[in-house]
Structure formats: structure tokens, C-alpha cells
Amino acid sequence: MISIDRIYKTVLTLSNSDIRGNVKPTDLRLAIYDVVNEIVEEYFYEVNRMLNRENRGLINGGFENLPDRIREKILYFLEEDVCLNYTAPYFELPANLRYIDSVHYLNYNEVEFCKHNREFKLLLRYEDATPTVENPIGLRVGNKLRIAPTSIRSNLKISYLRNPKVPNWTYTFVSGTELFNPSAGDFQDIDLHPSEENKVVLGTLKRFGINLKEADLTQLAAAKETLDFNQDNAS
């Protein structure tokens, strides 16, 4: 998780210093969630790019193995072995599902997914390809799964990548000023790997019309720390 209060204060400070007015919490929530989703989608393109570089011998192993670092960020969203509920003739998928990793029956029989409805029906018709409980097949239909053979009605588990939670900087009004209130029931920090904090700040600022590079952000953060220190230690 990343502290949404820290991101909010950073964005507010930098946006105000650029004379763009106050950033509203509701606008911030939408902007941050858009940035988070953009970062998550970039992982899948980036890991393929890094794997290509690794195959060409351009990336080292260990802590310098960039594909593994990106996979770690992806696996932050992994939900394992979640039981699926059956409502004939479908299994209901989790509401927060983003991408399916795997589906298993009785923990060890993995479901082979069909690309489309035509393939699913063809496999049901051909005797030499008829699905069994040892080799089940599946078809995603919206937010549901159709599984064959139809004798499978329970003991189906899914591992999947979930959607990030919607960030929410909650507050109360004190003397007409918004005061951070993390005790609110709908409070939510930024649901992302901690290493992505600078990306969130830069992406959020960009959505408010402020374009900075990471070096600029580091410089501004250092200047703010110096200012805060001088103010705290002023006589």
C-alpha cells in the first residue's frame, strides 16, 4: 500500500505552487485511480519487453533481474484458490477479477479454457475430445464460467489477479477546512506496490496539467524537507 495522505499532500503542494488552485479530494481520487490502472496495465507490456532483453543477455539475474521485479509487482494483486459459487448453468466469477490465472477442480485438475463458444461446443461434440472431470474445459461468459462436464458443480477454485481497490482520501470539515480522517469507514490507501509511489505522484500531477520528471520531483521533495526542517527549528 501507498499512503494516500502523503500523495495528496505532495500533489496539493506541487499543484498549488504552480498556481493551479486547490485539488479537490473527489478529483484526486479519480485521478489516482486512473493512474493506478495505467501502471498495472503497463506491467504486462513491460515484463514482455524485459524478457526479450533477458533472452538477449542484456539483463542480469538476482536482484538485478528486472522481469522478476515486475512479476513481484503483478503478484501483489494475486488472489489464490478462491472457491466459486455455482448457479446453474454457470459458476460466478469474483466481482474484483481483472485477469484469470488458473482454475482447478478438486485442487489438481486444471480447467482448459476455450477461446470462443464455437470451440467449446465442438469439444462437447467430438467423442475423442469429450471433457472429463480429470480434463475439464471452460468458457468465460461475461463475469461467469461455463464448465464441462456439467457434473462439476462444486469444488472449483480460481487463482486470479484482482482489480486495485479504489483509493479514497477521507476527510472531515474543521473550520471550513478539509482535515484528513483515516478512521472513516470508506477510507482506502493506494492499493499498489510501495515502489510505485513516485509514478503515482507524477502521473497524478500530469492529469492536473503539471509535467515533471522524476528528477524534478526528487529536487522539489528535498527542497520541501529543508523548508519544513527550517520552520520546525526556527527560534
- Predicted confidence at residue 225, as pLDDT, reads 54
Whether the bond into 149 is cis, omega within 30 of 0: yes
For residue 221, pLDDT beyond 50? yes
Q: Which residues of 117-153 are buried (b: 16+ CB within 10 A; e: fewer)?
A: eeebeebeeeeeeebeeeebbbbbeeeebbbbeeebe
Cα 68 to Cα 11: distance, rounded to the nearest angstrom: 30
The residue ranking higher by pLDDT, 100 or 49, is 100
What are the residue boundaries of the structural domains of the chain, listed by start?
Answer: 4-76+164-221, 78-162
What sign for the dihedral angle of Cα 18, 24, 28, 30? negative
Up-side HSE of residue 83: CA atoms within 13 Å toward CB?
6
Which helix (H) or strand (E) is 15 found in, with range? helix 4-17
- CA-nearest of 198, 202, 221 to 211 is 202
Residue 118 scores a pLDDT above 90: yes
3-state SS, residue 94: coil
pLDDT tens digits for range 156-173? 999 999 999 999 999 998
- Kindly provide the residue ranges of all beta strands, DSSP E only, lying in 88-142, ordered along the sequence: 90-92, 97-105, 109-110, 112-113, 137-141
Angle CA 155–94–41, to nearest 5: 125
Percent of the chain whose predicted confidence (pLDDT) is above 90: 55
User: What residues contact residue 183 under an 8 Å CB cut-off, 6+ apart?
Assistant: none
Looking at residue 59, its pLDDT comes to 53
Percent of the chain with pLDDT over 70: 80
Q: Which pLDDT belongs to residue 63? A: 45
List, for residues 52-111, the tens digit of each pLDDT value: 665 655 555 544 566 778 888 999 999 999 999 999 999 999 999 999 999 999 988 999
Cα–Cα distance for residue pair 3/188, rounded to 1 Å: 9
List, for residues 176-207, the tens digit of each pLDDT value. 788 899 999 999 999 999 999 989 998 998 88
Where is average pLDDT lowest: 10-19, 110-119, 182-191, 219-228?
219-228
Residue 22 has pLDDT above 80, yes or no: no
The reported pLDDT for the residue numbered 38 is 94
8 A C-beta contact, residue 91 and residue 84: yes
In 3-state terms the chain splits into helix, strand, coil percentages (rounded to 5) of 45, 25, 35
Cβ-contact 123, 139 below 8 angstroms? no
Residue 33 zone, left/alpha/beta (φ > 0; ψ -120 to 50; rest): alpha
Lowest mean pLDDT, pick from 7-11, 197-201, 218-222: 218-222
**pLDDT interval class at 11 (50, 70, 90):** confident
Q: What count of other Cβ atoms lies within 10 Å of the Cβ of residue 183?
A: 8
Better-predicted residue by pLDDT, 171 or 22: 171
Q: Does the pLDDT of residue 210 top 90, yes or no?
A: no
Residue 15 scores a pLDDT above 80: no
User: Is the separation of the CB atoms in 51 and 74 below 8 Å?
Assistant: no
Provide the mean pLDDT of the chain: 84
User: Cell match 498495472: residue?
Assistant: 40
